[in-house]
Structure 1
Amino acid sequence: MTGVAPAAGLLTGRRVVVIGGASGIGLATVRAAAAAGAAVAVLDADADGAAGAAAQARAAGASACAHAVDVTRETQVADVLDAVAADLGGIDAVLHVAGVMSGQGTDVTDLPLELWQRVIEVNLTGPFLVAKHAVRHLADGHGVLVLVGSKAGVLTGSGSVPYGASKGGLHGLALTLARQLGPRGIRVHTLCPGDIDTPLMRRSLDEARANGTDGAQVARIEAALGRPEDVASVLTLLAAPASAGIAGTVYTG
């Protein structure tokens, strides 16, 4: 499921929230959703980046707003989602792309507890808080929640102990939410990409090198990195009513 741009009009009339929309997969998703006709809210810890992404969406002809948010702060998450619902007149789909990747190449015996806690907080507690406070805005019968995980922690291990654990946990969170929210007509997915060429991934590979990971192995990963736009096209499709028949976990290259 990669390589195809979303059809114009696929998201016409849909109000889509992209969390982590300032860069990488999130920014590509903002662009794709806007091109598909959605009204887009861009949320990110990087306020300037979120504003820039929203400006790109408006330049493409979409209605768009931006809000800064720390997904680990419950009050912020609740307040921002309330504000977005007011800005857009409701929310039809929440695409949670935000995350951190740290500890690449660090042996478990050398892993600081503080690093473990930070990755788990952002990558697992954050999506939980977003789900908790997004649900009251997602309309029964056609709401969509997509949590972006990874093949790491689901199909394979990871070069980072906390990252692999957080993404495995996020997968379990989404499966449980799907079971709980499905009877209300709210569709929940985990989207699990492979290695994608994003600023986050590039920084992670630099960290792996610095922590002693074999340079040839890192080079092989770099040579095979996928495109953010390909993941964004799948996210855009999942946000659309056209995907009503899709259930559960979705994998991309």
Structure 2
Amino acid sequence: MPKAPTITAYDPSPLKDRTVLITGGAQGIGRGIAQAVLGAGGRVCIGDLDAEAGKACLDEWQVGARAHFMRLDVAREASVRRWIDTARKRFGRIDGLVNNAGIADPHAAHLTDLSLADWNRYIATNLTGAFLCSKHALPELQKHRGAIVNIASTRALQSEPDTEAYAASKGGLVAFTHALAVSAGPDVRVNAILPGWIATDAWRKPDQRAAPRLSRRDHAQHPAGRVGTPEDIGALAVYLLSSASGFVTGQQFVVDGGMTIKMQYA
């Protein structure tokens, strides 16, 4: 008779000695994920267009060689290649990639007024950026059986008026996730997180930082009873980047306090 399964101790540092690259990692959800990775014992290389915000992260974190910042434009392949090459040389390995960078404002213009340039800007940053980063990080991730986490949005599932470009880019990111999971498996797992309302006011660079201005109604409309925080996304990202999620790939995880499952009638 086989022996009974043993109780496995919970690993308090599930990303110890692992290196995770995070795009748009200097502010907002990206910074929340970076801090969660550091809290889980990992190392981070954050890429962001805002150099001031990136330097502020390093100054405030005070984790020495465990964190590095480099200016990054995810829509430019040369910039992506330099960022990933620098991270590989600095840390010696790449174990995880979080494609978080994107245009945050979902409201562009009415479709008849939306310019092709603006449409392309959303697609290039929110979707093509994830493609470029995944493309150039994949060889390193394959060596170490790594993981990719794409930060999409609940707007891939539901919409407000005049958000076609944003919704298309995030919906494309969800489809990109399951396609890449099949192509890159079993060596690399790929999953997506779809955040809902996440209050990021306190996670901006120092001169723009503020306490969130949220009403009781803002919180109460969520079945979970509150608006989300970057820590909520960071906690799930750590799980998806760690070996604890070794049987999870190609999935989309909605983190929205229950808003997408709530019937809403005017």
Normalised to the residue count of structure 2, the TM-score between the two structures is 0.78
Q: Which position in structure 1 is the counterpart of 2:100?
A: 97
Contact residue 198 and residue 228 of structure 2 kept, 8 A: yes
What displacement does 1:40 show? 1.0
Contact residue 101 and residue 119 of structure 1 kept, 8 A: no
Q: Which position in structure 1 is the counterpart of 2:47?
A: 43
Whole-Å Cα distance in 1 between the matches of residues 83 and 160 of structure 2?
Answer: 32
Whole-Å Cα distance in 2 between the matches of residues 56 and 181 of structure 1?
Answer: 36
Contact residue 21 and residue 46 of structure 2 kept, 8 A: yes
Contact residue 37 and residue 62 of structure 1 kept, 8 A: no
Equivalent residues, number: 227
Q: Which position in structure 2 is the counterpart of 1:164?
A: 167
Contact residue 38 and residue 63 of structure 1 kept, 8 A: yes
The 5-angstrom pairing of residues 72-221 of structure 1 reads 72-102=75-105, 104=107, 106-140=109-143, 142-153=145-156, 155-159=157-161, 160-183=163-186, 185-198=187-200
Unaligned ranges ≥5, structure 1: 1-5, 203-218
1:66 pairs with 2:69:
yes
1:250 pairs with 2:223:
no
Contact residue 171 and residue 190 of structure 1 kept, 8 A: yes
- Once superposed, which parts of structure 1, at least 4 consecutive aligned residues long, lie more than 6 Å away? none
1:234 pairs with 2:245:
no
Match of residue 19, structure 1, among 19, 23, 32: 23
What displacement does 1:250 show? 1.8
Normalised to the residue count of structure 1, the TM-score between the two structures is 0.82
Contact residue 94 and residue 145 of structure 1 kept, 8 A: yes
What displacement does 1:113 show? 2.1
What displacement does 1:198 show? 2.5
**What are the Cα deviations for residues 214-244 of structure 1, in whole angstroms up to 9, with x where unaligned?**
xxxxx85997531111111111111111111
**What are the Cα deviations for residues 50-79 of structure 1, in whole angstroms up to 9, with x where unaligned?**
22223334x257711111010000011011
What displacement does 1:18 show? 1.2
**What are the Cα deviations for residues 13-60 of structure 1, in whole angstroms up to 9, with x where unaligned?**
111111111110111111111111001111111122122223334x25
Contact residue 70 and residue 76 of structure 1 kept, 8 A: yes
Unaligned ranges ≥5, structure 2: 1-9, 205-216, 257-266
Match of residue 32, structure 1, among 28, 36, 53: 36
Instruction: Summarize the Cα distance change of 1:78–1:37 in structure 2 as closer, same or farther, 3 Å threshold.
Output: same
Contact residue 158 and residue 164 of structure 1 kept, 8 A: no
Letter in 1 for 2:241: A
Contact residue 55 and residue 64 of structure 1 kept, 8 A: no
